[in-house]
Amino acid sequence: MIACVFGASGGIGKALVARLSASSRYSRVFALSRKPPASLDGRAVTYLPFDLTDEASVAKAATLMAQHGPLDLVMLATGILHDADRVRPEKSWSALDPAVMERVFAINAIGPALIAKHMLPLLAKDRRAIFAALSARVGSIGDNRLGGWHSYRASKAALHMLIRNFAIEFARRNPQGLVVALHPGTVDTSLSQPFQRNVSPDTLLTPDQSASHLLALLDGLEPRHSGAAFAWDGQPIPY
């Protein structure tokens, strides 16, 4: 079996690569990111460069992976909530900035859509195969009680719609397939660090804990769950 992780240099992505490569289930794990992760410990891990905002780089990586046969698992551990430049979660509509919105949507929705465009055709057709993208609970429209964080919420809601669309289409190709969005929990990474002040230590997960929960969750899902969103603890998230 073959797995690949997009966003392998991030906290959760790196933990996913480590868990997958340590498993006897997978003979090869592709780790993809803009720059090589600090370390790629593990059996049969192959690094491939890609840029989420450059479709040509995604297509090139897909072509290289296709040479090794059908894939069994594609995981996207990419996303942006803030950066060192201008991207910050908006507290009010008055803070909306079209350039910031464009960047957030490019990374949280358009990039994953382009990865799906090139990777879904590589997934196995004759057996269980999974495409999973990390999302966020705040991308739920039905669960939104606080408002704010407009660009991030809207981009993740868009990702949820894409996941639902892809699931419907992929089911025609592989009825055993699974396309899902996953909320990894509040994880101690650079993405969440500025917002950990009100997070209980009991609910703050390490990247390895999150990766472990996510992979166990995927093991328990069935084709009927395709197109849905789930939290790390197995709870469904309303769209």
Tell the residue number behind the tokens 């192959």, with chain if given: 46
Name the residue range of residue 128's domain: 2-237
pLDDT computed for residue 182 by the predictor: 97
DSSP character string of 111-146: HHHHHHHHHGGGB-SSS--EEEEE--GGG-STT--S
CATH number at residue 218: 3.40.50.720
pLDDT computed for residue 201 by the predictor: 61
pLDDT computed for residue 229 by the predictor: 97
Distance from CA of residue 201 to its chain's centroid?
Answer: 24
Query: By C-alpha distance, which of 44, 46, 55, 43 is closest to 8?
Result: 46
Report how many domains make up the chain: 1
- 239 residues of the chain, pLDDT tens digit each: 999 999 999 999 999 999 999 988 999 999 999 988 776 665 689 999 999 999 999 999 999 999 999 999 999 999 999 887 788 999 999 999 999 999 999 999 999 999 999 999 999 999 999 999 999 999 999 888 899 999 999 999 999 999 999 999 999 999 999 999 999 999 887 655 555 555 556 678 999 999 999 999 999 999 999 999 999 999 999 98
pLDDT computed for residue 56 by the predictor: 97
Residue 201, classified by CB atoms within 10 Å of its CB into exposed (0-12), middle (13-18) or buried (19+), is exposed
pLDDT computed for residue 199 by the predictor: 58
Alpha helical stretches, state H, the chain: 11-22, 55-66, 98-105, 111-119, 150-173, 207-220
Residue 91, classified by CB atoms within 10 Å of its CB into exposed (0-12), middle (13-18) or buried (19+), is exposed
4 three-class SS: strand
Query: By C-alpha distance, which of 146, 24, 172, 5 is closest to 74?
Result: 5
